[in-house]
Structures are given as structure tokens and as C-alpha cells.
């Protein structure tokens, strides 16, 4: 049981590392441009041509933005980290897409962040 506690603690520290480094240095967590959406937390680049839909899922304090992809394997092939690949596969299994953006890492209101992503998506789809 102690072993599992240690593993959980190490995973929590690893997960918070990105948030603490980015928050302290005021680095960009999410970048939108005319060609792609870049999630610097997950280190994933997705072309707007591959995005089929964007959804805001509200679950109390666990709100997230789901980026639905035409080719779901693109982000999986971008990483060599086996743990990130596992997270992407679990996201596909439970949420239908590998790309989940947590607005907690992005400065602003969740709805405003979602509206901005949708505006970029609709602008590139025209």
C-alpha cells in the first residue's frame, strides 16, 4: 500500500510540474494560430484541418474542452513518451478524443477560452 502511495505522489508531482513552471514563468499554455492549435501542456500540435468539432464539457470543477479529431492517431504519433501515449489512448476510450484541454492552465474564464477556440475553428473552416 505504501508503494502505491509513493507512485501516486510521484505522478501528482510530475503532473503539477508543468503547471508550476508555466505559471511562475508566465509561459503560454495554449496557442492558436491560423494553421494549428498548440497545447504546450501536452506538447501537441493539431492542424485545424484535422479538427472536426470542439465541445465544452462542464463537470463541476473539472471542466474541459474536447477537441474532436478526424484522425485520432496524429497526437499519439507526436510523442515518444509511453505514459503520454497511454493518456491519449485512455482519453479516446473514455472521452472519444485524445485531445483534452483543461482551462485551468489558461488564464481567463472557461467560457471565454472556449469561445476563442471556437472562433478560430470557425474562421479556419471557412
Q: pLDDT tens digits, residue range 62-79?
A: 778 888 888 888 888 888
Q: What is the reported pLDDT for 57?
A: 82
Q: What is the reported pLDDT for 102?
A: 77
- pLDDT tens-digit map of 26-45: 556 777 788 888 887 778 88
Query: Which domains are assigned to the chain?
Result: 28-125 (2.30.29)
Res. 124 pLDDT band, cuts 50 70 90: low
Question: C-alpha cell of 6?
Answer: 509513493
* Beta-carbon contacts of residue 44 (< 8 Å; ≥ 6 apart): 38, 75, 78, 79, 99
Cβ contacts of 58-64, under 8 Å, gap ≥ 24: 58/110, 63/102, 63/103, 63/110, 64/100, 64/101, 64/102, 64/103
pLDDT at residue 25 greater than cutoff 60 = no
- pLDDT tens-digit map of 7-24: 888 777 776 776 666 556
Burial of 20: CB neighbours in 10 Å, binned 0-12, 13-18, 19+: exposed
How far apart are the C-alpha atoms of 55 and 63, rounded to whole Å? 11
Amino acid at each position: 500500500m505504501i508503494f502505491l502511495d509513493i507512485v501516486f505522489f510521484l505522478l501528482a508531482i510530475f503532473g503539477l510540474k508543468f503547471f508550476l513552471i508555466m505559471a511562475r514563468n508566465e509561459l503560454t499554455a495554449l496557442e492558436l494560430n491560423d494553421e494549428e492549435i498548440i497545447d504546450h501542456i501536452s506538447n501537441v500540435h493539431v492542424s485545424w484541418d484535422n479538427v472536426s468539432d470542439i465541445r465544452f464539457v462542464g463537470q463541476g470543477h473539472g471542466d474541459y474542452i474536447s477537441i474532436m479529431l478526424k484522425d485520432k492517431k496524429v497526437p499519439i504519433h507526436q510523442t515518444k513518451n509511453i505514459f503520454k501515449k497511454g493518456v491519449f489512448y485512455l482519453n479516446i476510450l473514455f472521452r472519444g478524443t485524445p485531445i483534452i484541454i483543461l482551462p485551468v492552465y489558461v488564464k481567463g474564464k472557461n467560457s471565454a477560452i472556449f469561445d476563442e477556440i471556437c472562433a478560430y475553428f470557425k474562421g479556419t473552416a471557412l
